């Protein structure tokens, strides 16, 4: 119990400060080198000059491994700080996974790896856990208990939302689940904004405002040198040295380790936190119009003086809503879960290590950073997962075809494999959503669908708005130029492969690429029956074509998928009740994702065309694409010549620097006149060799 001492003239504040340093798995080495030079290195060296300044420190595994090999100097400073007790190292999932969405066995192993590292560095196993993206889940308590964790770190507004709105938050709180307890330290938002951005005296005043309690802050280490303009401020102008000097010389502030504070002080109270994270995250998880509704309601309540109540009771979506918002994230996540199940059955250490690397959170979601929108991050995760798949398939044999709810959406998916490839097929549209090459470890079906984002919406509305007041809300808009806005196109269907369209004869490539076309069939997002047939999969649907100006025609569409080494064969069979009364085009859409983006060399029947352009390449039978990063060219062979369109799929996403236009993939549209020539059956064979 902190009874306080009434005879001390001034209250003594305990500063509990921590730094969290992270780089996503697969990030460019050049980025890591720069981060070490401008941030991690100078930060640790400056801290080392003030041995009385105690602090907490967390570094995620990909970065820690890289530093221990590539930046041994930085690693040894860290080890010195930890072993002399100045730095208290916190654990986490080693490769910075979101703990609540990975299997508990994996979470324990991830934490165990970093805890072992920390014991090797500091001589002690850590008692504290850095909570990745501060995504709390009450179900974590028993798991963290098993991992020996005594405390973790959350946001102050997270605690406010849990019913501690008006309470003193300068200390720690106890949460529990089924009798197991854990301590939670709330990060002060005011201190997050003050360090290192406010002048040192202001930062000190913010610390002292905690009175005789604890002033708590634990934030991105990258704010100390890597974030725009911070290098000059923190080191050039000397903010950090001044700050450390002022704190260590202060008579009113003392620093302490989080664990020691826990031992010496009683909790401020008890709390049960809902699952969630910082306030903005709850907005990002929502679909765009809901995000706006949420944002507007919040702003309105803030303006009308109901801000405190709003902060406590307004809650947006949960983190797993990203799995609903982005099918690509869900498919990647469920592939990861399936691999985890396999590695738990067949525990091959190398496969498990790649699996754990493939759990790194950044590519699974999107907020203020690019995240999922960055092909390099998605490709890195898939590379790790496919490496695990390759190792498992080689060790335990290539599994036979599977049918079941593989991505946990309540509908069937199928998977077929060869020694070289993995093909995933969804019953919605009977489409291929994954084509992973186990040699290159690359998923050729990795195109990201173009979706509306709430910041697009803000841009569009602001354009239509007459002014007054909107500008301040939608600051983002002001930086989106006219050129970028032209890329704001949204897809009607996920950008998978073998999407079946029935189009009016006159549909143009521009209309199709822009999503402004008439869809006469109900196949592109219709439910297909699926069954395993031998080593392949048959998908079929009895649907309808409803041409404008003619009556509806029933049509049975059957696709059989077989994978033979590096060749995916898709056999189409269409049977109509009768010929459609007006000219109709059957279009098969195939979206392909290439690591080198538009610098690939594409040809149709030997004639080159550019993947960077919207291209009507005429009619042909063989399309090939050679990506300089891939060993094999990709070839698409058709049993019947098709008219072919090609266009790039590009997205607009926000990042910490503004708006990015990114190449996500190339759309090939193969078209045939729907003419049964009296036979009532139309057969087509497509072969995709990779």
User: Using CB under 8 A, which of the segments 310-318, 448-456, 511-519, 672-680 binds its own copies?
Assistant: 310-318
Phi and psi, residue 510, nearest 5°: -65, -45
Return the number of the residue (68 or 157) whose C-beta is nearest its own copies: 157
State the DSSP H helix or E strand holding residue 93, giving kind and residue range, or none if neither: none
55 contacts 47 by C-beta, under 8 angstroms: yes
Return the number of the residue (266 or 516) whose C-beta is nearest its own copies: 266
376 contacts 28 by C-beta, under 8 angstroms: yes
405 is catalytic: no
Return the number of the residue (290 or 685) whose C-beta is nearest its own copies: 290
CB of 91 to its own copies, least distance (A): 21
Return the number of the residue (177 or 252) whose C-beta is nearest its own copies: 177
Query: What is the spatial distance between Cα 638 and Cα 224, in angstroms, rounded to a whole number?
Result: 56
220 is catalytic: yes
Phi and psi, residue 473, nearest 5°: -75, -45
Return the number of the residue (269 or 504) whose C-beta is nearest its own copies: 269
Q: Which of 125, 145, 241, 312 binds its own copies (CB under 8 A)?
A: 312
Return the number of the residue (485 or 546) whose C-beta is nearest its own copies: 546
Return the number of the residue (141 or 623) whose C-beta is nearest its own copies: 141
DSSP label of 48 = H
Q: Which of 89, 337, 372, 509 binds its own copies (CB under 8 A)?
A: 337
User: Using CB under 8 A, which of the segments 16-24, 243-251, 305-313, 659-667 binds its own copies?
Assistant: 305-313
> Per CB under 8 A, which of residues 165..224 are in contact with its own copies?
165, 174, 176, 178-181, 183
Return the number of the residue (246 or 552) whose C-beta is nearest its own copies: 552
User: Using CB under 8 A, which of the segments 336-344, 434-442, 477-485, 589-597 binds its own copies?
Assistant: 336-344
Q: Which of 124, 220, 245, 290 binds its own copies (CB under 8 A)?
A: 290
Sign of CA dihedral 46, 48, 49, 54: positive
Helix (H, G, I), strand (E, B) or coil at 579: coil
> Per CB under 8 A, which of residues 114..153 are in contact with its own copies?
137-139
> Per CB under 8 A, which of residues 45..74 are in contact with its own copies?
none
Q: Which of 85, 148, 163, 641 binds its own copies (CB under 8 A)?
A: 163
User: 179's torsion region: left (phi>0), alpha (psi -120 to 50) or beta?
Assistant: left
Angle, helices 61-70 vs 72-83, to 10°: value is: 110
Write the burial class of residue 5 (CB in 10 Å: 0-12 exposed, 13-18 middle, 19+ buried).
Answer: exposed
State the DSSP H helix or E strand holding residue 462, giving kind and residue range, or none if neither: helix 454-464
Active-site residue, from 88, 96, 109, 133: 133
Return the number of the residue (112 or 287) whose C-beta is nearest its own copies: 287
Q: Which of 19, 224, 235, 294 binds its own copies (CB under 8 A)?
A: 294
CB of 390 to its own copies, least distance (A): 21
Write the burial class of residue 485 (CB in 10 Å: 0-12 exposed, 13-18 middle, 19+ buried).
Answer: middle
Task: Write a three-state SS string for 161-224.
Answer: HHHHCCCCCCCCEEEEECCEEEEEEEECHHHHHHCCCCCHHHHHHHHHCCCCCEEEEEEEHHHC
The interface mask with its own copies, positions 389-428, x = CB under 8 A, is ----------------x--xxxx-----------------
Return the number of the residue (66 or 284) whose C-beta is nearest its own copies: 284
Tokens of 433: 């959503």
State the DSSP H helix or E strand holding residue 616, giving kind and residue range, or none if neither: strand 615-626
The interface mask with its own copies, positions 245-274, x = CB under 8 A, is ---------------------xx-xxxx-x
Residues β-bridged to residue 573? 558, 683
Is there binding between residue 103 and its own copies (CB under 8 A)? yes
Query: What is the spatial distance between Cα 365 and Cα 648, in angstroms, rounded to a whole number?
Result: 23
Is there binding between residue 306 and its own copies (CB under 8 A)? yes
Instruction: Characterize 403-413 residue by residue with b for buried, 16 or more Cβ atoms within 10 angstroms of its Cβ, and e for exposed.
Output: beebbebeebb
Is there binding between residue 607 and its own copies (CB under 8 A)? no
DSSP label of 450 = P
Q: Which of 102, 416, 545, 668 binds its own copies (CB under 8 A)?
A: 102
Is there binding between residue 452 and its own copies (CB under 8 A)? no
Query: Strand 13-21 to strand 253-255: parallel, antiparallel, or no bridges (unpaired)?
Result: parallel
The interface mask with its own copies, positions 479-518, x = CB under 8 A, is ----------------------------------------
Instruction: Identify the CA nearest to 330 among candidates 416, 426, 235, 257.
Output: 426
Q: Which residues, at least 6 apart from 58, have a Cβ–Cβ distance to it below 8 Å?
A: 18, 19, 20, 21, 89, 90, 91, 92, 130
CB of 58 to its own copies, least distance (A): 24
CB of 670 to its own copies, least distance (A): 26
147 contacts 169 by C-beta, under 8 angstroms: no
CB of 392 to its own copies, least distance (A): 17
CB of 460 to its own copies, least distance (A): 20
User: Using CB under 8 A, which of the segments 317-325, 380-388, 439-447, 624-632 binds its own copies?
Assistant: 317-325
486 contacts 460 by C-beta, under 8 angstroms: no
CB of 140 to its own copies, least distance (A): 9
Q: Which residues, at least 6 apart from 25, have a Cβ–Cβ distance to it below 8 Å?
A: 62, 95, 96, 357, 358, 360, 362, 380, 381, 384
Query: What is the spatial distance between Cα 60 and Cα 77, in angstroms, rounded to a whole number?
Result: 16
Q: Which of 316, 358, 375, 424 binds its own copies (CB under 8 A)?
A: 316
Instruction: Identify the CA nearest to 528 among candidates 558, 491, 498.
Output: 558
Q: Which of 37, 48, 246, 293 binds its own copies (CB under 8 A)?
A: 293
Query: What is the spatial distance between Cα 182 and Cα 144, in angstroms, rounded to a whole number?
Result: 8
CB of 66 to its own copies, least distance (A): 29
Task: Write a three-state SS string for 546-558.
Answer: CCCCCCCEEEEEE
Sheet holding 151-155, edge to edge: 128-129, 151-155, 180-187, 173-177, 269-270
Active-site residue, from 105, 124, 212, 220: 220
Is there binding between residue 321 and its own copies (CB under 8 A)? yes
Query: What is the spatial distance between Cα 486 and Cα 484, in angstroms, rounded to a whole number?
Result: 5
Instruction: Identify the CA nearest to 178 among candidates 221, 138, 237.
Output: 138
Q: Which of 43, 286, 600, 630 binds its own copies (CB under 8 A)?
A: 286
The interface mask with its own copies, positions 338-377, x = CB under 8 A, is x--x------------------------------------
Query: What is the spatial distance between Cα 474 and Cα 467, in angstroms, rounded to a whole number?
Result: 11
Is there binding between residue 305 and its own copies (CB under 8 A)? no
Is there binding between residue 554 and its own copies (CB under 8 A)? no
Query: What is the spatial distance between Cα 291 and Cα 283, in angstroms, rounded to a whole number?
Result: 5
CB of 93 to its own copies, least distance (A): 14
User: Using CB under 8 A, which of the segments 293-301, 379-387, 473-481, 571-579 binds its own copies?
Assistant: 293-301
Catalytic residues: 133, 220
Catalog residues that contact its own copies under the rule CB under 8 A: 1, 3, 101-103, 137-139, 162-163, 165, 174, 176, 178-181, 183, 266-267, 269-272, 274-276, 286-287, 290, 293-294, 297, 301, 306, 309-310, 312-318, 320-321, 323-324, 334, 337-338, 341, 405, 408-411, 526-527
């Amino acid at each position: 119990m902190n009874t306080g001492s009434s005879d001390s003239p001034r209250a003594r504040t305990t500063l509990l400060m921590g730094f969290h340093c992270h780089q996503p798995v697969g990030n460019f080495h050049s980025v890591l080198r720069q981060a070490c030079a401008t941030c991690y290195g100078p930060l640790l060296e400056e801290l080392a000059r003030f041995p009385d300044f105690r602090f907490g420190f967390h570094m995620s595994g990909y970065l820690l491994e890289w530093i221990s090999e590539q930046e041994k100097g930085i690693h040894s400073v860290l080890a010195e700080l930890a072993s002399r007790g100045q730095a208290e190292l916190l654990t986490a999932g080693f490769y910075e996974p979101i703990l609540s969405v990975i299997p508990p066995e994996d979470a324990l192993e991830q934490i165990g790896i970093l805890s072992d590292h920390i014991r090797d560095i500091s001589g002690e196993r850590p008692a504290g856990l850095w909570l990745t993206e501060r995504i709390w889940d009450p179900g974590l308590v028993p798991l963290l208990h098993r991992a020996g964790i005594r405390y973790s770190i959350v946001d102050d507004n997270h605690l406010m939302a849990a019913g501690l709105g008006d309470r003193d938050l300068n200390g720690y709180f106890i949460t529990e689940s089924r009798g197991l307890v854990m301590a939670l330290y709330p990060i002060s938002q005011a201190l997050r904004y003050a360090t290192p951005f406010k002048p040192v005296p202001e930062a000190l005043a913010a610390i002292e405002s905690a009175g005789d309690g604890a002033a708590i802050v634990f934030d991105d280490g990258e704010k100390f040198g890597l974030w725009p303009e911070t290098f000059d401020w923190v080191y050039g102008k000397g903010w950090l040295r001044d700050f450390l000097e002022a704190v260590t010389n202060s008579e009113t502030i003392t620093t302490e380790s989080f664990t020691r504070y826990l031992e010496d002080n009683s909790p401020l109270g008890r709390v049960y936190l809902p699952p969630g994270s910082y306030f903005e995250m709850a907005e990002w998880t929502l679909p765009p119009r809901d995000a706006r509704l949420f944002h507007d309601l919040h702003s309105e309540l803030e303006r009308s003086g109901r801000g405190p109540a709003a902060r406590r009771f307004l809650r947006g979506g949960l983190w797993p809503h990203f799995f609903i918002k982005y099918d690509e994230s869900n498919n990647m996540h469920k592939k990861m879960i399936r691999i985890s199940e396999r590695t738990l059955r067949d525990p091959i250490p190398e496969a498990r290590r790649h699996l754990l690397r493939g759990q790194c959170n950044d590519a699974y979601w999107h907020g203020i950073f690019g995240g999922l929108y960055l092909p390099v991050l998605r490709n890195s995760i898939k590379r790790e997962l496919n490496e695990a798949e390759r190792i498992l398939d080689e060790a335990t044999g290539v599994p036979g075809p599977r049918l079941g709810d593989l991505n946990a959406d309540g509908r069937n998916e199928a998977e077929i494999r060869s020694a070289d490839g993995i093909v995933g097929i969804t019953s919605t549209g009977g489409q291929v959503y994954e084509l992973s090459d186990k040699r290159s470890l690359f998923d050729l079906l990795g195109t990201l669908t173009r979706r509306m984002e709430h910041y697009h919406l803000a841009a569009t509305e602001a354009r239509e708005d007459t002014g007054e007041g909107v500008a301040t809300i939608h600051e983002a808009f002001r930086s989106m130029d006219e050129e970028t806005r032209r890329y704001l196109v949204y897809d009607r269907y996920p950008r998978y492969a073998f999407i079946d369209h029935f189009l009016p004869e006159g549909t143009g490539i521009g209309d199709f690429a822009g999503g402004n076309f008439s869809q006469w069939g109900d196949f592109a997002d219709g439910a297909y029956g699926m069954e395993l047939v031998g080593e392949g999969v048959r998908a079929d649907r009895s649907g309808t074509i409803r041409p404008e100006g003619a009556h509806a025609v029933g049509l049975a569409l059957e696709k059989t998928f077989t994978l033979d080494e590096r060749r995916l064969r898709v056999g189409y069979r269409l049977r109509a009740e009768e010929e459609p009364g007006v000219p109709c085009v059957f279009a098969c859409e195939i979206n392909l994702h290439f690591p080198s983006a538009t610098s690939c060399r594409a040809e149709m029947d030997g004639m080159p065309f550019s993947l960077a352009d919207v291209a009507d390449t005429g009619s042909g039978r063989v399309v090939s694409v050679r990506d300089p990063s891939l060993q094999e060219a990709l070839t698409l062979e058709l049993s019947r010549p098709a008219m072919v369109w090609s266009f790039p799929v590009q997205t607009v996403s926000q990042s910490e620097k503004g708006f990015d236009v990114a190449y996500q993939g190339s759309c090939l549209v193969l078209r045939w006149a729907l003419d049964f020539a009296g036979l009532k059956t139309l057969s087509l064979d497509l072969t995709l060799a990779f």
